[in-house]
Amino acid sequence: MSKIISITAIASISPLGNLPENIWQNYLKQNHCFSQHLLDHSKTFVAKLDKDSAHEVAALRASDQKYKALDKSVLYAIAASRKAIKNAGWTANDLFGINIGSSRGATELFEKHHKEYLETGKAQTLASPTTTLGNISSWVAHDLQSSGPEISHSITCSTALHAVLNGIAWLRAGMADKFLVGGSEAPLTDFTIGQMRALKIYSNAGSDESKIIEWPNRAFDLEKKQSTMILGEGAGVCCLEIGKSKNALAFIEGIGYATEILEHNISISAEATCFQKSMKMALQNTNLSDVDVIVMHAPGTVKGDLTEYKAIKSVFGESLPLLTTNKWKIGHTFGASGILSMELAVMMIRNNTFIDVPFVKAQIQTKPIKKVLINAVGFGGNAVSILLSL
């Protein structure tokens, strides 16, 4: 069985847009950050879907009576999945598996139902079936009329890249020829942000309306004195196929994973041992000098950004690849973040253009981008690293 995995399509819906050409153009706008929308009823910066994406989701919800009761996280996944399989040329006749995960699942809908229960003492009929975690992949499978296995899971912020790992395992085991993998998240609720504030990792940007905040989330700024994480919403999926496909956008060349030894519920060591292990595993058959770019997890927290950087330096020494992240631009999308980072990696490879972080020391691209490493990690130190090549 071939170990080569082809990415034959990747699609997303996020604050950057819902079409590849628009998403790439928005990445090229170095002076524009999409984490500029205040959450209703609070002075809190978040990154909402752009207008085109929001319109697409609204049209999807209105297109079928069954979809009116679904959470945004499910609708985001359906919208992205439709585009992905169309671009890959897959049809309902193809036998493909689905693994789309989420950190929080039906966040908004669950909170709505729970509030109603506290007020009335009664739960609505659809409260359970529309808020279970398996809801996402099941509805995507229903919408696509697929007949392969459907899996949902939650491994916090590394969820989407764990879906990639799982899809690869199915493909390499010969249990499937194609797999749709990714993550979806709609976490922009007062309670979710309250949880992040309780951890003291959410950005205080917006608390003083007299100040103009150019970049509320200073992800990968290693000089910041306080955490600046901003939440975003969106979904991303990619189509994986076993073997070297002629229409591949990129190939998965290496995979790595590791788990931190816990000291407390959200712990990560000073030099992110889990990242060191996952990167080394993904790079075991690769010369370090061949890695051109790393798309960091870099959530915008003081400790998260710094420990990942230390882990990268420990693995690569002074010969660091170009380093970047997209969370300064679109916020942290929790379970969807890894696949959106993978989308950025594919776009940089396809366009041979490095997307820099504008408020850190400038990095100059001196050679073609052929190999990109993507990192993700969740609470509990569940790290994943994926190496892509052209």
**DSSP per residue over 337-368, as a string?**
HHHHHHHHHHHHHHHT-----TTS------S-
pLDDT over threshold 90, residue 380: no
Confidence of residue 37 (pLDDT cuts 50, 70, 90): confident
Task: Give the CA dihedral 240, 49, 139, 7, nearest 10 degrees.
Answer: 0
Q: What is the pLDDT of residue 211?
A: 59
Query: Element (H or E) spanning 242, and its range?
Result: strand 234-242
Convert the pLDDT of each residue in 69-118 to its tens digit. 899 999 999 999 999 999 999 987 888 999 999 999 889 888 888 988 89
More confident residue, 30 or 145: 145
* Residue with more model confidence, 264 or 298: 298
- Tell how far CA 46 is from the center of its chain: 16
pLDDT at site 9: 97
So what's the pLDDT on residue 1?
Answer: 45
Q: Higher confidence at residue 264 or residue 124?
A: 124
Which of the residue ranges 96-105, 127-136, 264-273 would you say has the lowest mean pLDDT? 264-273
Distance CA(164)–CA(335), nearest Å, equals 12
Rg (CA), the chain: 20
Kindly report which listed range (31-45, 50-64, 108-122, 162-176) carries the lowest average pLDDT score. Answer: 31-45
Q: Does an H or E element contain 322, and which?
A: strand 322-324
Is residue 222 within 8 Å of residue 305, measured between CB atoms? Answer: yes
Strand 293-295 to strand 371-378: parallel, antiparallel, or no bridges (unpaired)? parallel
pLDDT tops 70 at residue 382: yes
Q: What percent of the chain has pLDDT over 90?
A: 73
pLDDT at 319: 86
Q: CATH for 252-389?
A: 3.40.47.10
Q: What is the rounded average pLDDT for all residues in the chain?
A: 90
Q: How many residues does this entry show for the chain?
A: 390
pTM for the whole structure: 0.94
In this predicted structure, the answer to whether residue 268 has a pLDDT above a threshold of 70 is no
Phi–psi pair at 119, nearest 5 degrees: -80, -35
Please tell me which of 149-153, 232-236, 265-269, 285-289 the model is most confident about, judged by mean pLDDT: 232-236
What's residue 356's pLDDT?
A: 94
Looking at residue 2, what is its pLDDT?
59
Locate the domains of the chain by residue range: 5-242, 252-389
pLDDT of residue 215: 85
Place 272 in a pLDDT band, splitting at 50, 70 and 90.
confident
Same fold, 5-242 and 252-389: yes
Of 272, 367, 280, the closest CA to residue 321 belongs to 367
Output the pLDDT for position 212.
Answer: 61
pLDDT of residue 269: 57
Average pLDDT over residues 158-179: 95
215-228 residue pLDDT tens: 889 999 999 999 99
| pLDDT the model gives residue 235 | 97
Q: What is the pLDDT of residue 4?
A: 87
pLDDT recorded at residue 31: 74
Q: How far apart are CA 387 and CA 281, in angstroms?
A: 10
Residue 370, Cβ density class (10 Å: 0-12 exposed, 13-18 middle, ≥19 buried): middle
Q: Which fold has domain 5-242?
A: Peroxisomal Thiolase; Chain A, domain 1 (3.40.47)
pLDDT value of residue 198: 92
| Position 58 confidence tier, pLDDT thresholds 50, 70, 90 | very high
Give mean pLDDT, residues 15-24: 95
Q: Among all chains, which residue has been given the structure tokens 């400790």?
A: 303
Report whether pLDDT(371) > 90. yes
One DSSP character per residue, 250-266 reads: EEEEEEEEEEPPPSSTT
Lowest mean pLDDT among 132-136, 240-244, 286-290, 302-306: 132-136
Which pLDDT does position 50 carry in this prediction? 93
- Please say if the pLDDT value at position 265 is more than 50: no
Please report the DSSP string for 88-125 in residue order.
HT--TTS--EEEEE-SSSSHHHHHHHHHHHHHHS---T
pLDDT at residue 267, rounded to an integer: 52
Q: How confident is the model at residue 157 (pLDDT cuts 50, 70, 90)?
A: very high
